[in-house]
Amino acid sequence: MRIKTPFVSFSLLLLAGLVLSACTPAAAPSPTPEPTPAPLVLTDGLGRQFSLTSPYQKIVSLAASNTEILFAIGAGDQVVARDSFSDYPEAALAVTDIGGGWGEIDTETVVSLEPDLVLAAQINASEQITALEQLGLNVFYLANPTDLEGMFGNLRIVAQLTGHQTEAEALIETLQKRVQAVDQVIAPLSYRPSVFYELDGTDPNAPWTAGPGTFIDLLIERAGGFNIGSTLDSDWAQISIETLITQNPTIILLGDAVWGGITPEMVAARAGWDSISAVQNGMVYPFDDNLVSRPGPRLVDGLEELAKIFHPGNFE
C-alpha cells in the first residue's frame, strides 16, 4: 500500500483551492461615482453673479426684448408671464400678462406663479427690480447691448440661463450672415442719405428723435444712412423745426406711425414741413419702431428694412 507523503497532500490541497477559486465569480468592481458638474456662473448687467446647476424652467419676462429673445431661442414654453409690451411673437400673447412697461407690475400674480427666474432689462426701473427681490424672487438684469455683436452676446446669456445653447448658436449664425450681407453691400457705397427718424411728432415744431448712441442711430449708420439726430446732445431729444429745416433730411422715417397713427400725408400738412426735401420728394415712410427700439433678434430685420429704404437699387 502506497502512503502519501505530506508534500503530495499539500500539493493536492493547493490544486483544489486553485480550481475552486477559478470557479468562483470575481467580485464586481465598485462603481466610480459620476463627477458632480460644476455650476454655471453668469454675471448679470448689474455685476451680480448667478450660479445655476440646471436651466431655469419658470421665467417671468419684464421686457418685450427679453420675451422676443426667449421665444427666438426656443425657450418660449418656459415663459410663465410677460410684461404688457410683449406682443411678439404671437405666441407670447397667450402667456399671462403681469403689467409692467410704464405701469405697475402685478407682483401678486408674479409670486403666485412661483417663477425660478425673473428676467429684467434696462427698460425696467431699479425700484421695480428691488421690489421684486424683496419678495424673494430671483431677478437677472440683462443690460442693453451697444451694438449688434452685443445683442448676439445677450442671446448667448439667455440661452445659458434656459438651456438652449444649440438653438441660440444656430440663430446667431443665421443673423450674422444676414448682417454681413448688408455690410458687404453698404461698405463700398459713398452716398449716405440724411435721415430724420421721428419718435414722437405730437409737437410738430419740436418733434422727438433718436440721438447718438441709440439703437436707431446705430442701425441708420450701419444701413448706410446719416442720422441727423446724431448731432444732438442726448440719446432722446427734441429738435426744433428750424434746425430740421436747416438739416433738410433726404428721408423721414415715422417711428410713431404704428403707435401714433402718423402718416406721410399728416407730415406734409404740417406748417413749414413742405420746405423739407424728404416731404417735397415723397420720401416720408411709416416705419415699425419695434424693429429698431427693442434690443433683440429683430434688430437685424430693422437693419435690412432700413438698408432697402436708403439704397433701394442695391437690395432686392
Nearest partner of 288 among 106, 87, 124, 103, judged by Cα? 87
Average pLDDT of the chain, as a whole number: 90
Tens-digit pLDDT profile for residues 227-276 = 999 999 999 999 999 999 999 999 999 999 999 999 999 999 999 999 99
The answer to whether 140 and 122 have CB atoms below 8 angstroms apart is: no
CATH of 40-183, one of 3.40.50.1980, 3.40.50.300, 3.30.70.270, 3.30.450.20: 3.40.50.1980
The answer to whether 88 and 195 have CB atoms below 8 angstroms apart is: no
Tens-digit pLDDT profile for residues 142-189 = 999 999 999 999 999 999 999 999 999 999 999 999 999 999 999 999
> Whole-angstrom Cα distance, residue 48 to residue 44?
5
> Whole-angstrom Cα distance, residue 173 to residue 263?
36
Q: Do domains 40-183 and 190-314 have the same CATH topology?
A: yes
- Cell, residue 239: 429738435
Residue whose cell numbers read 470557479:
23
> Whole-angstrom Cα distance, residue 306 to residue 313?
13
What letter does residue 295 receive in the DSSP assignment?
Answer: -
Report domain extents, the chain: 40-183, 190-314
* CATH-assigned architecture of domain 190-314: 3-Layer(aba) Sandwich (3.40)
Given a cut of 90, is residue 16 above it in pLDDT?
A: no
* Per-residue confidence (pLDDT) for residue 34, from 0 to 100: 60
Tens-digit pLDDT profile for residues 81-129 = 999 999 999 999 999 999 987 778 999 999 999 999 999 999 998 888 9
